[in-house]
Structure 1
Amino acid sequence: MFIPLHDAVELKYIRVQYVTIGIIAINVLAWLFTTVASPEVVEHASLGLGFIPAVVFDHAVLDPSLVIVPDDATFVTYAFLHLDFWHLASNMLFLWVFGDNVEDALGHLKFLVFYLICAAAGAALHGFVAPEAEGPLIGASGAISGVVAAYFLLHPRVRVWVLVLFRIPLPLPAFIPLALWIVQQFAMLALDLDSMVSWGAHVGGIIAGAILVLVMRRKDVPLFDRAIVTPKAVERKPDVQQAIAASE
């Protein structure tokens, strides 16, 4: 529906979004490793680190030779693997645009905890929807859906550059594309249960993110920020006469 490109919300409490950058780096390194590795290694990583509902809920047993981490740990580890470059790129772009401001509102450590809980919530709802599914769930979408939900509650009126229909760049108040995106996830969960996309993971992350930001944000961070920050690219410049008058 849309691709986020840029927002102009300045960081108020932190200087650098270390956790956001670190998460992106880990995801990129994991993807590079699976890209250069043999198909057998990739399959082993997907099965050993991916979230498999049938295994977690004891409907099936994973071959012991494929086990890398305990079943419970896959509620989180799945979120650091991606199917291909575009799967990785789309998730990391959303995280880059929206993650820094959520990290700013929560603080570094709380944001890391927030991110991991949203990932686990995404896996949990995915498993609830399809408890006997034997295919591994991979990708950061559940966690990033939580980030999007938190941003929506924190900065709904901030203008964000988005690429609409993958070709039209527009600066829109954040609540417009994000509300449409959130509604789409719930609608697709209800209508498209057989899809290759785990809408359950998205919705689980959204619900967790919306709840967690209420209790984890800094005490002086408001919800529904009324400050509208316009991207510099669309700011109106004073005309020549105004500039002359100002200099007199």
Structure 2
Amino acid sequence: MVIPVHDVLPVRRTPWVTYALIAINVVVFLLTPAARSTGVQATSVTQLCQQEAFYDRYSAIPAELTHDQQLARVPTGTAAVGRGGAVGCLVGPPSYHKIPALSVLYAMFLHGGWLHLLGNMLFLWVFGNNVEDRLGRVRFALFYLVCGYAAAYVFALANANSTQPLIGASGAIAGVLGAYLVLYPRARVWSLVPFLLFIPLRLPAWLVLGMWFVLQWVYSAGYAVSDAGSVAYLAHVVGFVLGALLAIPLRGRRPPVGYPVRR
């Protein structure tokens, strides 16, 4: 796995939608309970219960999406001591009305921690501007949302009874990566290679994004075990494939100024 940090493909216009998406994701994250946890200090049970209640309310939950109905019992955000002195989170009827379809939109701007947020925003920063440049601002915004929704719903259908909250912009950003691969396969991307002591290399986009996709597919298919925790790899695969398919009709159009063309 390599870490992309910058591509060398210029754009013809300022990618305001990409900038806006990054800004919204950062602002929303700062307003969520997860922003108060750095991963260094210990998190209290009360804080964990509050986070769990928050994400159950605003995240996309597969069981809710497949049945188009919110769960009957959800975490209340309150910690309690049970039998034998065990500490846990209270569960009860929801005090709010939740529209499952809208929860997908909310979930696309939620993240579980700083690493989750920064990793997603890095990929959006590196690859989003050129895809927006090719699609145009309005179509790029719609494209982003369509990929995010498709990724969430396909993942939900594959995990129809799961009550595990689904959050993050990864499905939508995976769509951006798929489109970039189709539109600019030969573009060069400066990337850090961990197993080479993070030496920066100028690699072709087809290699960087192809490796990323293969890794997501391997994990989603269960051929390998990731230590990244509970990650919706299938949503990444779906978003990427859909983004690539939607970008195919644009391949024949004139590329942006500065795009390297073979003669």
TM-score tier (shorter): 0.7 to 0.9
Which residue does the alignment assign to 2:77? none
The correspondence for 2:260, drawn from 220, 227, 230, is: 227
Q: Distance in 2 between matches of 1:212 and 1:66?
A: 40
- TM-score, normalized by length of structure 2? 0.77
Q: Are the equivalent residues in 2 in contact too, given 1:159–1:228 (CA < 8 A)?
A: no
Distance change in 2, residues 1:112/1:218 (3 Å):
farther
Task: Give the C-alpha shift of residue 16 in structure 1.
Answer: 0.9
Structure 2 gap segments, 5+ residues each:
38-45, 74-92
Q: Are the equivalent residues in 2 in contact too, given 1:6–1:162 (CA < 8 A)?
A: yes
The correspondence for 1:61, drawn from 59, 64, 71, is: 71
Q: Are the equivalent residues in 1 in contact too, given 2:134–2:255 (CA < 8 A)?
A: no
Task: Give the C-alpha shift of residue 108 in structure 1.
Answer: 0.2
Aligned residues: 225
Q: Distance in 1 between matches of 2:165 and 2:139?
A: 28
Distance change in 2, residues 1:66/1:196 (3 Å):
farther
Structure 1 residues 21-170: aligned runs within 5 Å:
21-34=19-32, 35-36=35-36, 39=47, 42-58=51-67, 61-63=71-73, 65=94, 67=96, 69-165=98-194, 167-170=198-201
Which residue does the alignment assign to 1:246? none
Q: Which has the higher strand share?
A: 2
Q: Are the equivalent residues in 1 in contact too, given 2:66–2:157 (CA < 8 A)?
A: no
Q: Distance in 1 between matches of 2:146 and 2:204?
A: 28
Which residue does the alignment assign to 2:85? none
Q: Distance in 2 between matches of 1:8 and 1:190?
A: 33
Structure 1 gap segments, 5+ residues each:
230-248
The correspondence for 1:210, drawn from 244, 251, 260, is: 244
Distance change in 2, residues 1:4/1:159 (3 Å):
same
Distance change in 2, residues 1:173/1:47 (3 Å):
same
Q: Distance in 1 between matches of 2:57 and 2:96?
A: 5
Distance change in 2, residues 1:218/1:112 (3 Å):
farther
Q: Distance in 2 between matches of 1:123 and 1:36?
A: 26
Q: Distance in 1 between matches of 2:206 and 2:253?
A: 22
Distance change in 2, residues 1:36/1:10 (3 Å):
same
RMSD: 2.8
Q: Are the equivalent residues in 2 in contact too, given 1:3–1:162 (CA < 8 A)?
A: yes
Distance change in 2, residues 1:62/1:205 (3 Å):
farther
Which residue does the alignment assign to 2:217? 186
Distance change in 2, residues 1:221/1:57 (3 Å):
same
Q: Distance in 1 between matches of 2:139 and 2:54?
A: 28
Identity %: 40
Letter in 2 for 1:227: P
Q: Are the equivalent residues in 1 in contact too, given 2:9–2:259 (CA < 8 A)?
A: no
Letter in 2 for 1:209: G
Is residue 17 of structure 2 the alignment partner of residue 19 of structure 1? yes
Deviations 1:7-63 (A, max 9, x none): 111113xx2111001000111011101125983653343112211011222387244
Q: Are the equivalent residues in 1 in contact too, given 2:18–2:128 (CA < 8 A)?
A: yes
Task: Give the C-alpha shift of residue 131 in structure 1.
Answer: 1.1
Which residue does the alignment assign to 2:80? none
Distance change in 2, residues 1:228/1:82 (3 Å):
farther
Q: Equivalent residue of 1:57, what SS?
A: helix
